[in-house]
Amino acid sequence: MNDWLIELPDNMDPNTDVRSLAKEEKKGRIEKNLKQQKKNLEKSLPNNISKKTADVKKASDMIKVLSKPLESQTKRKEELNESIKNSKISTASMGKFDLKLKNEPEFKRGERGEKRKFAATTGNSKEEKHRTTDIVNKVLKSSGQEPMLVDSKLLKKVDKGKVVGEIKEKNKKRSEPKKKRVRV
C-alpha cells in the first residue's frame, strides 16, 4: 500500500492497525477471485473431461488440458464476427470508411451487398406489360384466385357501366367460328 495517511472511520478504535486490516481484506479479495476463476474454468470444460481435472490450481495448467478451442467458443467467435460485419455494412458507406478493430477479419467487397438495379422508366412497353402481368399473377395466386387476361376493350365497357354478363356473351360470340356468307 502506498497510502502514508489512512483515514479512520468514527466507529473504529483508534488503536487498531488499519494497514493489517487492509492487507487481510486484499487477501480475501484475491481468494474470492481465484475461486471465481476456478468456477469459470469448470464451466468452460467440455463434457468429456471430468470435473476432477478442474482442481488444477493454475490456469496455465488448465490451458494444457484444453489444447484446442471449444466448439462453443468457436461458434461464439463466428457470431461476433458476423455481428461486426453486419454493423459495418449497416452504415451509409457500408463500412468502407469505418475504423477497423484490432484483429478484425477482412471482409470481401461482395459481402457488403449489392446495389439495387432499377428497370428503365422509358423503353419497351411490351416488357413493362409483361412485368405488370407477372406482378398481378403473383398477387392473384397468393389470394387463391385464378389469373385471367382481360381485353382492354372489355375493360373500357366495364368502366362505362355495362353488365359483366354482356361481356361474357361477347366472349362466347368470339369463340364461335364465323359463318361464311354465300351469295345467290
Give 18-64 pLDDT, tens digit per residue.
889 989 999 999 999 999 988 887 777 666 555 555 455 455 566 65
User: Quick one: pLDDT at residue 12?
Assistant: 87
Euclidean distance between CA atoms 151 and 20, whole angstroms:
99
User: Quick one: pLDDT at residue 170?
Assistant: 59
**Averaged pLDDT for residues 95-118:** 72
**Averaged pLDDT for residues 117-135:** 80
- The mean pLDDT value of the chain amounts to 73
Portion of the chain with pLDDT greater than 90, in percent: 8
Q: What is the pTM of this model?
A: 0.30
Euclidean distance between CA atoms 11 and 52, whole angstroms:
46
Euclidean distance between CA atoms 121 and 123, whole angstroms:
7
